[in-house]
Amino acid sequence: MLKVFHKIVKKSIIEEYANQTPAIKASICTGEKAAGFLDQNNHFTELMLIKSEDDLLNFCKTYSVKKEQIKNIW
């Protein structure tokens, strides 16, 4: 049996958000926090719900972001 190999080229997660600013969007009413990225037009792309410090560390590790780089928005 012969297999045909197709190379699928996908951008890595880090490359996809390289030009964007990491941010945490917090709700004033509920206190719910979501981590994601802000683009140049200040459009927020939500990627992860932050319930604890472990979730924040997981976000930082997954997207190669330092906690000091994260901007807080309301």
* Per-residue confidence (pLDDT) for residue 74, from 0 to 100: 87
What are the pLDDT digits (tens) for 22-62? 999 999 899 899 999 999 998 999 999 999 999 999 999 98
Q: Which tops the pLDDT comparison, 59 or 11?
A: 59
What global pTM score does this model have? 0.75
Q: Which letter does DSSP use for residue 29 in this model? A: T
pLDDT classification of 6: cutoffs 50, 70, 90: low
* Domain ranges within the chain, ordered by starting residue: 16-73
What's the CA gap between 35 and 46, in Å, rounded? 6
- What distance lies between CA 46 and its chain's CA centroid? 7
Q: Can you tell me the distance from the alpha carbon of 56 to that of 22, in angstroms, rounded to the nearest whole number?
A: 12
Residue 4 pLDDT greater than 90, yes or no: no
In this prediction, residue 69 carries a pLDDT of 92
